[in-house]
Amino acid sequence: MKKIFIILLILIVSKSAYPQNVPIVTFTTQQDHENMLNQLGIKSLRPGPSGNESAPNHANYDEKVANPCPQLPDILTLNNGKKVTTPDIWWNQRRPEIIDAFEREMYGRIPKEIPKVTWNVKITDREFVGRTPVIARQIIGHVDNSQCPSINVDINMILVLPNNVKGPVPVLIMFGRPSFPSPAQPTPEEMEIINNAFKQMIINSNPELKTIFEKYPVYSPITRLSGPNFFAPATNGDSPPTEQLLAAGWGYATLDPASIQADNGAGLTRGIIGLVNKGQPRKPDDWGSLRAWAWGAARALDYFETDAMVDAKKVGIEGVSRYGKAALVTLAFEPRFAVGLIGSSGKGGATLERRVFGEAVESLAGSGEYHWMVGNYLNYAASEAKAGSKTGCDLTVDSHELIALCAPRLTFISYGVPEKGDAKWLDQQGSYMATVAAGSVYKLLGAKDIGVSNDYIKEKMPPVLNGLLDGELAWRQHDGGHTDAPNFQFFIPWASKLLKYNRTPM
């Protein structure tokens, strides 16, 4: 009898330790959103404003009413009311308080137990990007899914390194869709072999084609793409950012966010969030997609620390729009990153949450973009809820503190102009105010901020094209649209100088 009891106990423990037999929940985005509202006891949310300025519920663009609660949470005051006067107090007391609040209210916590990632180089290719010879690798990071085999997460990244620079190089991780920049082509002799074999194969499939090939004996059905153009103009500020990086002796990596976590609420029971939750819906304090993408970037940095061609102490993170938000979250929470280029990030990124100008907390909390954030974030758009009605003014943290978490590391805040498509919706002014306020922490830690006072109400946003680039914290608004490409020609020399990197390509 005792033996039977022990066997039953082992089976019960085994089933709980390996719950892969529990069915994976499949929700639509709307169903997942409603599930989270129910968990939080939210009966209704305030609707987000419309980006259409002629709509009845259009977003506010009047600065006179944009700051309903102008007093920001004081970065340099502890929760107990005591002032932060030394770097030690910042590192050991204040910074952990701010991180805890961001994890609880905005972005969520990374689970304590998360599966291991194993990186493997799938393809290595020697290419030319413009005039620069490069080594390009597709690298796949497989996340251990032994505890939930029905969910597979393979992080997809392409790393491109200049092959004309001695020693390890800085690398900028860019959120986006990976592809080989300029795949190497077979030689003319190899192409002839390929074409002869291909001709024979299709003649065997359709004998009538033999007459056509005999009529055009020099015709090759498969043509070779053009190779490197050594006579192309030299790289300049109008060249693609990747070419500018390589010409300056930097490498870059394109990291696919979708291979880490889907960019929708329906995907929250899949991807890395779903894998950790074994296919079950999130709880209110579980991490959102922004934090998941940031986790994936940190795992890419793990790989770089094993690559002798990469200077892992000089790795940066870059993104625009939602990926600008993710880049800022990455830099704030992962101290190993040395530099960030944060492009047009808006709410949830560098723009103040409590500002009522363009995009609002309600915009993110609606069913379209809530998955970026922790479930608890929805409380701040609630009109009727168990926790009461709250707004962005009730948040205990704001984006100036997110930027401050990056200090004293290099942080470049980038925007374009509404006239070219970087919409007013993003609230460039709100991001500038946050950057100004964050500067006090840079100064505390012995770094330079953007070179103005930290009075975010008094300081005026500089004119377009007037960059503030003299410190570890930088601001520049270019005259282009919803992109950070025009700022690369300023970002690269700024980052290279402060990282003390001056190797020139051979």
Q: In Å, what is the CA distance from 404 to each residue of 72, 448, 453?
A: 13, 12, 15
What strands lie across the sheet with 410-415, from one edge to the other?
Answer: 117-129, 132-143, 154-162, 251-255, 169-175, 310-320, 339-343, 410-415, 473-477
- Across-strand partners of 154? 142
Which ranges of 167-267 does DSSP label H, i.e. alpha helix?
188-205, 209-215, 241-247
% the chain with pLDDT above 70? 93
Domain ranges of the chain: 63-182+244-498
81 closest CA partner among 102, 97, 67, 63 = 97
Give per-residue pLDDT as tens, 248-296.
Answer: 999 999 999 999 999 999 999 999 999 999 999 999 999 999 999 999 9
Instruction: Tell me what pLDDT residue 10 has.
Output: 39
Class of the domain covering 63-182+244-498: alpha beta
Burial class (CB in 10 A: 0-12, 13-18, 19+), 486: buried
Read off the pLDDT of residues 87-132 as tens digits, 9 standing for 90 and up: 999 999 999 999 999 999 999 999 999 999 999 999 999 999 988 9
Q: How far apart are the first and last CA of the chain?
A: 78
SS3 state at 235: coil
Is there a contact between 316 and 298 (Cβ–Cβ < 8 Å)?
no
User: 208-253, pLDDT tens digit by residue?
Assistant: 888 888 888 878 887 755 555 556 678 888 999 999 999 999 999 9
The whole-angstrom separation of Cα 175 and Cα 292 is 12
* DSSP reduced 3-state for 60: coil
Question: According to the model, what pLDDT value does residue 27 have?
Answer: 97
Give the model confidence (pLDDT) of 306-337 as tens digits: 999 999 999 999 999 999 999 999 999 999 99
- 5 by Cβ neighbours in 10 Å (0-12 / 13-18 / 19+) ranks as exposed
Q: Which residues contact 273 (CB under 8 A, 6 or more apart)?
A: 261, 282, 286, 287, 288, 289, 292
Decide the pairing of beta strands 154-162 and 251-255: antiparallel
Contact 32, 40 (CB under 8 A): no
Q: In Å, what is the CA distance from 396 to each residue of 61, 364, 392, 490?
A: 25, 18, 9, 34
| Residue from 222, 230, 299 nearest 261 by CA | 299
| Spatial distance between the Cα atoms of 271 and 236, rounded to a whole number of angstroms | 39
pLDDT digits 0-9 by tens, 13-66: 343 443 456 799 999 999 999 999 999 999 999 999 998 989 999 999 999 999
Distances in Å between the alpha carbon of 303 and those of 99, 220, 297, 307? 25, 42, 10, 7
pLDDT digits 0-9 by tens, 139-174: 999 999 999 999 999 999 999 999 999 989 999 999
Q: How many other CB atoms sit within 10 Å of the CB of residue 196?
A: 11
Give the integer Cα–Cα distance in Å for 11 and 162: 55
At 268 the three-state DSSP class reads helix
Contact criterion met (CB below 8 Å) for 49 and 57: yes
Q: Angle at Cα 79 formed by Cα 75 and Cα 83, nearest 5°?
A: 55
